[in-house]
Every structure is written in structure tokens, then in C-alpha cells.
Amino acid sequence: MLACTYTRPGVFELKEKNKPQILDSKDAIVRVTMSSICTSDIHIKHGSVPKAVSGITVGHEMVGIVEDVGSDVKNVKVGDRVSVNVETFCGECFFCKNGYVNNCEDKNGGWALGCRIDGAQAEYVRVPFANNGLNKIPETVTDEQALFTGDILATGFWAVRISDIKEEDTVLIIGAGPTGICTLLCAMLKNPKKIICCEKDQIRRDFVKKHYPQIIVTEPDNCLEVVKKESEHKGADVVLEVAGSEETFQMAWQSARPNAIVTIVALYDKPMVLPLPDMYGKNLTFKTGGVDGCDCDEILSLIEQGKIDTTPLITHKYQLRDIEDAYKVFEEKLENVIKIAIVNE
């Protein structure tokens, strides 16, 4: 089968590999019908993910059809259409039982697919702990609608859940890339008083204005001023940082009102510094970490009900055989790209 492979830092190559096989009674084999390229894949390519294993098939956003199951897989069967969770989790350890599946204690727990074990940008993928990692797609939901369920949409949903957004809140979301927009969609479900979106890229600002006209849109140079103007308490009640730069990290706590919640969703390329003397007295609550992706059934139900629609994010489609061209467009941000769907014939 064809598989997009992390050959060495800086290089992905489309290679022929053997079709995966069941290795454990809790495994499933999924025939991938659609996958996507994520910014995290670019981080792997350039060596920013130390856990990434050379030679693995990359990719962790996917939907497909169950091809085979191990003897202990009961939640899905051969022929089911499924979304695949970015997180691999056993469901039995302390962290899994408390909903902290990103920190599953199993050796394959956490972000494994497309990082430590073979992932989605291929014709087939082996999914460990398939009872937990696969979610049936409702019949009325298309592959395009379900594509981001297990990763960036799960991330936005988790970030909003831990941010405790209330209807009287002013919420600031920093970053309107794919994960930022998914976070925005999930924040809208909470019906806060105001949502402000800060984004440096004009194309992405225009995207938000076009599709979500109720959102207040600003750019970084004006963000602090806009937030103070639109907030009742000298800053946002909740800030979600989804951009991932040193400037946006600082902007996050500076934009927050005293006693606010600041949720760090972004992945950074280098350590960030909290200037505690400057922050003293703001009494902020910081929340951060990798997504606990255990809400996928609820997310798929919301998609089925029409309450979440991420299909506008898909601006480009490529066949798997052309994935190297797709990476060039995505990484260099060509042709107003937001997300690329990789379609298997």
C-alpha cells in the first residue's frame, strides 16, 4: 500500500509498505477513505516532535471503514464507517478512568498514531484499543463532516470544556487557523456574550468574517485595545491561545482580566516564559496540555444535529498519490489553503 513516510528530519516520502495486520486482540484495521494534513505533521517533519519515530507513516486525522477486528473488539464491526481518535488509550488505567486519556499509561498511550506508530496518510491503518479509538459515524454524516472529529475538533471541544465558559463571558480566541476555528465553533456552543478572534493573517480574518459574522475580529496590533473596549472588566473572562508563538503566548495573559482563565491549546517550538513579577496580582488560572480526546461520540452527535460544521475548512482535496504536492501547498500556505483532505481512491 502507499504510505506517506517520515524518512528523516525535513523529509516525508510516499512509499510502498505492507498492509498492516492485527497484532493484538484489541486492534482493528481501518481502510482509510479520507485523511488530512495537520500542522503537527509539519512539526514532525522539521524535528520539533522528539517522540516521533523515523520510518513511521505520518497522519492522525482520518475516517474510514473497518476492514478487520481483533477478537476483543466489540464496539465496532467490519464494514462500519468510523472516525479515528488522535489519542490511543487503554480505558483502564488511572488517567483513562478519570478522563485524562492523553496521559494513558499504556506504552502506546497518548498521541501514538502518526507519531510513534504508523498513522493515517496511507491506504490502511492499524488502530490499537479500537473499542476506545474508533467512533461510528452516523449514516447522515459524510466523511468530510466527520474528518476532523478525532483531532482538531476534539481539541477545540476539550479546550472549551476545560475553560468553563459562561453565557455572561467575553471570550478571546487567539489564532484562526484550523484548530482555532474548531475552538471557535465549540465556544459558540456555550453562547457567551461576546467572542473576539485575533488573527494576524488577512485571509483567515476574512474567512472568519465571512462564515461567522457575529464574531468580533481583530489583528494582533489592536488586540489589547479591542479586548478592553469589548470587555466589562478590563480584559477577557476566558482566553484560549491557539496560535503558538511567543508573542501570542504573552498576549494571552496580557489580554485576560484579573482572575480569568487562560487556556493554552497551542503547541510551541520552544519553551515559553511566564513573567511572574509582571503577572503578580492578576491571579490568573492557566490550563494547558494535550487534548483528552474522549468526547468524539458527543461531537459526532452535534455534527449530525447540524450544530457543528467544519466542512468550510476544507479548501483543497488531493489524492493520496499526490500528497507531496498537498504538503507543499499546506506548508507554504499557498492558494489560501486552510485544510486539505486527502482522498483515497
> Do residues 125 and 62 lie in contact, with contact meaning Cβ atoms separated by under 8 Å?
yes
For the chain, the structural domain boundaries read 2-151+292-343, 155-288
Enumerate residues 6+ apart whose C-beta is below 8 A from 282.
253, 256, 258, 259, 260
* pLDDT tens-digit profile, the chain (345 residues): 999 999 999 999 999 999 999 999 999 999 999 999 998 899 899 988 888 999 999 999 999 999 999 999 999 999 999 999 999 999 999 999 999 999 999 988 999 999 999 999 999 999 999 999 999 999 999 999 999 999 999 999 999 999 999 999 999 999 999 999 999 999 999 999 999 999 999 999 999 999 999 999 999 999 999 999 999 999 999 999 999 999 999 999 999 999 999 999 998 878 899 999 999 999 999 999 888 888 999 999 999 999 999 999 999 999 999 999 999 999 999 999 999 999 997
The confidence score (pLDDT) of residue 48 equals 82
The confidence score (pLDDT) of residue 269 equals 79
> Do residues 237 and 259 lie in contact, with contact meaning Cβ atoms separated by under 8 Å?
no
The confidence score (pLDDT) of residue 254 equals 97
DSSP at 47: T
Considering the domain 155-288 in this protein, what is its CATH number?
3.40.50.720
The confidence score (pLDDT) of residue 108 equals 86
- Give the SS3 label for residue 332: coil
The confidence score (pLDDT) of residue 270 equals 85
**Domain 2-151+292-343, CATH 3.90.180.10 — does that match?**
yes
Return the C-alpha cell found at 130.
479500537
The confidence score (pLDDT) of residue 238 equals 98
The confidence score (pLDDT) of residue 89 equals 96
